[in-house]
Structure 1
Amino acid sequence: MAALTIGSPCASLAAASSSHLDRPALARLPAGRLQFGCFFAKNGAVSTCAARSSISPLRAVAVDSDQSESPLPSSEFVPSSEAKPKKYYFVVANAKFMLDEEEHFQEQLAERLRLFAERGREQDFWLVIEPKFLDKFPNVAKRLKRPAVALVSTDGPWITFMKLRLDRVLTESFEADSLAEALASSPVDVQFERPKNWVAPYPKYESGWWQRFLPPNPSQPEA
């Protein structure tokens, strides 16, 4: 197909059009037509001629395609209505260490809970006393004194941070179909004796401080 040069004289353009319009290359564009226009100077002389096609670039591409008349393929992706298991991460140690001996643990949890409330984020971490998921980890369970306490979260990087912060804990992850399944626990009463000699310059945390971080009890109605 001969190229049409913008700005060529009208006579040349007309000759080119008459000699090439019947060629098969142009016949492949049934939906469009060539339009010619001349621009005249003030003295009436022909200045330049321009040619343009009424076929838009998008249409031209579609016409050249072998599948121009075919409908767009439908998407094969169909979202599943079934909820996928969620991954949970945890650190675990014996209850005495987690709830009574580790002096900064309560501060870490309280500060994170405050930050979540400030930013309007939903809580994604809980303390679980004697978690049932330990049955899935016999190599972890056999290294623990009982009762055990786990800090469970859906935030893997934060659990890694808490592992480094607490040091003497074990860590793992698992999947569960629901939050209730992930945080299921065996009932146990945790009590610690108050030390007779407390030499730290700050008061010792009161027993039961961990209650606010336990999973919600589905049997109790919300206030």
Structure 2
Amino acid sequence: MYNYYFAIASKDFFLHQEPIEEILRERTHYYQSLNKEVDFWFTIKPQFIYCLDNTKYDFGVFESSAAIVSLDEYFIKWLKLRIGFVYIGSFQSKSIFLPD
């Protein structure tokens, strides 16, 4: 079973209000310097949100959403501190995540 952690917000927030491209590029370079495989993905309109406990999340917010999904819980927690206005959470899957 794979544990996934995510930061989710509107697509507009990630693409136009925050320097997410720069953050992910820096993270990729950091992983390369450690010879570590990239374990995060950026996806628009993530379908996994419909499998989550709908009592925890307001899905109306996610209609035009984007998400950063990772196997690294601490990376997602760091993102929450770094960019602030995101929902974070987790889910489990029997298979590896494949972005849209």
What SS class does the counterpart of residue 144 from structure 1 fall into? helix
Q: For residue 19 of structure 1, what is the aligned residue in structure 2? A: none
Q: Secondary structure at the match of 2:41?
A: strand
- Asked if the contact 2:41–2:99 (Cα under 8 Å) also holds between the matched residues in 1, the reply is no
Q: Which residue of 2 aligns with 1:160?
A: 77
Richer in strand (by share) = 2
2:42·2:99 contact (CA, 8 Å) conserved in 1? no
Match of residue 109 from structure 1: 24
In structure 2, the partner of 1:147 is 64
Give the match for residue 6 of structure 2: 90
The alpha-carbon deviation at position 165 of structure 1 amounts to 1.0
- Describe the shift of the 1:172–1:145 C-alpha distance in structure 2 as closer, same or farther (beyond 3 A): closer
Change in Cα spacing, 1:161 to 1:143, as seen in structure 2 (3 Å) is: farther
AA of the residue aligned to 2:21:
Q
Specify which structure has the bigger relative contact order, considering alpha-carbon pairs within 8 angstroms and separated by 6 or more residues: 2
TM-score of the aligned structures, taking structure 1 as reference length: 0.41
- Cα 1:135/1:145, change in 2 over 3 Å: closer
Give the superposed CA RMSD.
1.6
The alpha carbon displacement at 1:158 in A equals: 1.2
**1:99 has 2:23 as partner:** no
Tell me how many residue pairs correspond in the alignment: 98
CA distance in 2, matches of 1:113, 1:184: 17
Larger helix proportion of the pair: 2
Q: Distance in 2 between matches of 1:183 and 1:132?
A: 11
Deviation at 1:152, TM superposition (A): 0.3
**Distance in 2 between the 1:135 and 1:150 partners?**
13
Could you tell me which runs of 5 or more consecutive residues in structure 1 were left unpaired when the two chains were aligned.
Answer: 1-84, 186-223
State TM-score, norm by structure 2: 0.87
Aligned CA distance change for structure 1 residues 131 and 141 (closer, same or farther; 3 Å)? farther
Give yes or no for contact 2:41–2:70 (8 Å, CA) kept in 1.
Answer: yes
Structure number with larger C-alpha Rg: 1
Which residue type is aligned with residue 16 of structure 2? D
Letter of the aligned partner of 2:85 in structure 1?
R
Change (3 A) 1:127 1:93: same
**Shift, 1:121, TM fit:** 0.8
Note the residue ranges of structure 2 that are not aligned, 5 or more in a row.
none
Deviation of 1:145 after TM superposition, in Å, equals 4.6
